[in-house]
A = this chain, B = another copy of it.
């Protein structure tokens, strides 16, 4: 570990995004997703399942009010609620009249609010909006009124009885809700400087710090759904309070130790019920999950011993994100080694070319190595987002395009595919091959929707897309005292105070009071993803600083020109990821390491032009991936392309791209289309269409197979299903 390479995400106040591609996405979040989501939180969507999130906070607030009234006035008796487990998703008997003192929906429904407030915070930084802020403040009042006097804040148990709080960490998501609450509260605090929610979230974290720990009277548990780890580290970095770092590290250290805490909980809950826990009988023919207890939760072995990414994919990458934070913050080499092993396992064996992860819908989980089915893929939007979280945290330890290339791949393809052009329809599952008939008739593919949905009962994906897109700048660029690392190319203006990182501190909005007077401004325009031209203009007072730019691995040859005053340079970088220049007497010094080109020196008025080779390429998968055998995929820069029925007709599996004639590389024609409301580049090439057989089901192998020449039309994968329902395929047979 080289702490000199450590970096932190950019303070969103210091960056203004103005990008030909991304501004539109961020505006969609602000204009469409946030209001829509607020209605979802308040059960005001006519054709979507109610969230009950705000209902539950109000119910808990009523309970708390009764309790306080009885404490204030001894004559008013108060009977605390008795815990009643009503299944994983409790619904009102009469949906039109939910009981105002009952909890409804999934046990993790509190997090719906937290994800919304987090995105609201990011959005308010970009785009101040007093009305939205007032709405948010009102919601925060409700949430804070629901908090128990201990600091505990999970409405499921406040409503149903606190005597059972923290007795089912495996399934009941209280620490997951803590994690999201922290993320939301920090975002809103950073945006507005208002700390009411942050104080409440801290009180919940403080209470957890008393409940969980090494002492004999403390619980030795850890979250059933991870996120609290990275959220607590974020709180630690904001406040500097050691106890948050300690609690996050405790959760990580406890995870997967033997005897299993989750199993101990089973026995303890049975004892509370005055029964005896009966382990389920071992099956004669168990599934791998059944044979590997708690692998779904990544709790099958201690985290530093984990080398294969397994189980629920979102849980997994949320955990790995927390592990990467721990590796950096605690300078924990073993933790870092585990993170690297897990990263390599994912990207070497378990990553779709779209940046999606979690190949199977059973447990929304990672499958085994090289098992990457296209038509039954799960590839949850949230899992791709979690992979971006993990990547950013690895980049914070050490800039390396192995991380940022994948971050970009997941962002431009799977995350972007998760939302439609209108910002009102969403995919939870992101297949690489879709066929409406198969999704209708084949139950193996029933989870693969071939139309984006309005909302989901378990509405994790839309808010997750919202919070990622609205905080995109904090993924694009990280910094340390004197360096800006540009991982993604997002048109923007950045103002960096040299000699400090500009994260808000707990003492509030004192950004203006930092002692650093040296300011570096980076203005960037980017033509990505359609063209490879990036212009950067750096302005400073001549203080020595570094600016580092990722050279994407998809750019076979990158031309870089630099100009500052009379100094000017022109360089070309090839496919390799590192290069050494002779030590130069020039005033600007270059380095190129792990795919990052860095210029260091006194910066006054430096112009950098990066010209990436952004061309159509055909890619194949490792032949260990059975599902992609004999197939290729078209990529162009960061974008994966696909075939859609609307352009290419039905039976996409009958299309082929001819490659076998040596020397006859396919010719790709790029065409701008307005079919998607803004300029998008389509790709066309000559291919072959086999005619569907009309004869017997089986026939001699040498029976003729009539085929005709055809034009294949490819569109960016993220845009699929914006023009109606139909077949789609990322992979195409070669012949």
Binding site for B on A (CB under 8 A): 285, 287-289, 347-349, 351, 353, 360, 362, 367-368, 371, 373, 376, 437-438, 440-444, 446, 449, 617-626, 629-630, 632-633, 651, 653-654, 659-660, 665, 690, 692-693, 695-703, 705, 733-734
Please judge, given known A-B contacts A371-B442, A630-B630, whether A624 and B288 are in contact too, CB under 8 Å: no
Bound state CA distance, A665 and B449, in angstroms?
Answer: 44
Known: A348-B697, A624-B692. 14 other contacts (CB 8 A): A287-B446, A288-B440, A362-B444, A368-B438, A371-B438, A618-B701, A620-B701, A620-B703, A621-B697, A621-B698, A622-B693, A622-B698, A623-B693, A629-B653
Residues of B within 8 A of A351 (CB): 697
Our pick among B368, B620, B621, B633 for the contact of A437 (Cβ within 8 Å) is B368
Q: In the assembly, what is the distance between CA of A659 and CA of B703, in Å?
A: 12
Complex alpha-carbon distance, A693 and B618, angstroms: 17
Contact B442 A697 (CB under 8 A): no
Q: Output the nearest chain B residue to A697 by Cβ-Cβ distance.
A: B622
- A620 surroundings in chain B (CB, below 8 A): 698-701, 703
**Docked pose: A618 CA to B660 CA in angstroms:** 22
With beta carbons under 8 angstroms apart, the residue of B443, B622, B630 that contacts A360 is B443
| Contact status of A659 and B701, CB under 8 A, knowing A367-B442, A733-B629 | yes
**Which residues of B lie under 8 Å from residue A347 when comparing CB positions?**
697
Chain B min CB distance to A381 (Å):
17
Once bound together, how far apart are the Cα atoms of A596 and B622, in whole Å? 51
Query: What separation, in Å, do the CA atoms of A223 and B624 have in the docked complex?
Result: 48
Q: Are B700 and A617 in contact (CB under 8 A)?
A: yes
**Closest residue of B by beta carbon distance from A665:** B702
Q: A376-B444, A620-B700, A621-B698 are in contact. Are A285 and B449 (CB under 8 A)?
A: yes
Report if A360-B705 is in contact (Cβ < 8 Å); known contacts: A620-B699, A693-B624, A699-B620: no
Q: How far is the CB of A672 from chain B (nearest CB, A)?
A: 25
- Check A362 against B695 for contact (C-beta < 8 Å): no
B701 close to A734 (CB less than 8 A): yes
Give the 4 A-B CB pairs with smallest separation, nearest first.
A618-B701, A362-B443, A368-B441, A622-B693
Q: How far is the CA of A371 from the CA of B444 in the complex (A)?
A: 12
Cα distance, A446 to B363, chains bound together (Å): 14
25 contacting pairs across A/B (C-beta < 8 A): A285-B449, A287-B440, A287-B443, A287-B446, A288-B440, A347-B697, A349-B697, A353-B698, A360-B443, A368-B437, A371-B441, A373-B444, A444-B444, A618-B701, A620-B698, A620-B699, A620-B703, A622-B696, A622-B698, A623-B705, A625-B697, A632-B701, A633-B698, A659-B701, A660-B660
A696 to chain B: which residues have CB within 8 Å? 348, 622
Distance (Å) between the CB of A688 and the closest chain B CB?
Answer: 12
The docked-state distance in angstroms from the alpha carbon of A632 to that of B700 is 9
A360 to chain B, nearest CB (A): 7
**Which residues of chain B have C-beta atoms less than 8 A from A699's C-beta?**
619-620, 622
**Distance between Cα atoms of A397 and B695 in the complex (Å):** 25
Whether the Cβ atoms of A618 and B438 lie closer than 8 Å is: no
* B441:A288 contact, CB within 8 angstroms: yes
Chain B residues with CB under 8 Å of A653's CB are 623, 626, 629
Residues of B within 8 A of A617 (CB): 700-701
Copy total for this chain: 2
Most central of A620, A698, A699 by chain B CB within 10 Å:
A698
Asked whether B701 lies within 8 Å of A619 as measured between CB atoms, the reply is yes
Residues on B with beta carbons closer than 8 Å to the beta carbon of A360:
442-444
**Chain B residues with CB below 8 A from A444, complex form:** 360, 362, 373, 376, 444
Which residues from B are CB-within-8-Å of A629?
653, 733
Take A368-B442, A442-B360, A444-B444 as given contacts and tell me if A733 and B619 are in contact as well, using a CB distance cutoff of 8 Å: no
**How many Å lie between the Cα of A602 and that of B682 in the bound state?**
77
Residue numbers in B under 8 Å from A438 (CB-CB): 368, 371
How many angstroms from the CA of A626 to the CA of B349 in the assembled complex?
25
A692 to B443, CA, bound (A): 32
Contact B368 A623 (CB under 8 A): no
Given A629-B733, A654-B623, check contact A618 B441 (CB 8 Å).
no
| B residues less than 8 Å from A622 (CB atoms) | 693, 695-699
Query: How close is A615's CB to chain B, nearest CB, in angstroms?
Result: 11
Please, which residues of chain B bring their CB within 8 A of the CB of A633? 698
In the complex formed, the residue of B with least CB distance to A347 is B697
CB distance from A46 to the nearest CB of B (A): 13
Q: Which residues of B contact A353 (CB under 8 A)?
A: 698
Chain B residues within 8 Å of A734, by CB: 701
CB distance from A105 to the nearest CB of B (A): 16
Cα A444 to Cα B376 with chains together (Å): 9
The CA-CA distance from A503 to B700 in the complex, in Å, is 41
Chain B's nearest CB lies how many Å from the CB of A288?
Answer: 5
Task: Please indicate the chain B residues that have their CB under 8 angstroms from the CB of A440 in the complex.
Answer: 287-288
| Given A362-B443, A444-B362: A700 in contact with B618 (beta carbons within 8 A) | yes
Docked CA distance A617–B702 (Å): 10
What is the bound-complex CA distance between A312 and B693, given in angstroms?
A: 27
CA distance A619 to B696 in the complex (A): 11
A629 and B629 CA atoms in complex are apart in Å by 11
Complex CA–CA separation, A289 to B622 (angstroms): 37
**Whole-angstrom distance from the CB of A547 to the nearest CB of chain B?**
29
A665 / chain B contacts, CB cutoff of 8 Å? 702
Measured in the bound complex, the distance between the Cα atoms of B625 and A624 in whole Å is 23
Interface centre among A348, A360, A629 (most CB of B within 10 A): A629
How far does the alpha carbon of A730 sit from the alpha carbon of B446 in the complex, in Å? 27
A148 CB to nearest B CB, Å: 36
In this complex, the member of A347, A348, A362, A697 whose beta carbon has the largest number of chain B beta carbons within 10 angstroms is A697
Nearest Cβ in chain B — how far from A96, in angstroms?
A: 16
What residues of chain B lie closer than 8 Å to A651, measured between beta carbons?
624
Nearest residue (CB) in B for A695 is: B622
Q: Which of B285, B367, B441, B693 contacts A367 (CB 8 A)?
A: B441
Q: Which residues of B contact A437 (CB under 8 A)?
A: 368
Given contacts A360-B444, A449-B285, A629-B653, contact A619 B700 (CB under 8 A): yes
Quick one: closest B residue to A368, CB to CB? Answer: B441
Q: How far is the CA of A368 from the CA of B446 in the complex (A)?
A: 14
- Shortest distance in angstroms between A72's beta carbon and chain B's nearest beta carbon? 45
Measured between alpha carbons, how far is A449 from B654 in the docked complex, in Å? 32
Residue of A443, A617, A695, A702 with highest tally of chain B CB at under 10 A = A443
**Shortest Cβ gap from A439 to chain B (Å):** 9
Shortest CB-to-CB span from A135 to chain B, Å, is 29
Cα distance A271–B653 in the bound complex, in angstroms:
53
Q: Enumerate chain B residues within 8 angstroms of A697, measured Cβ to Cβ.
A: 347-349, 351, 621-622, 625
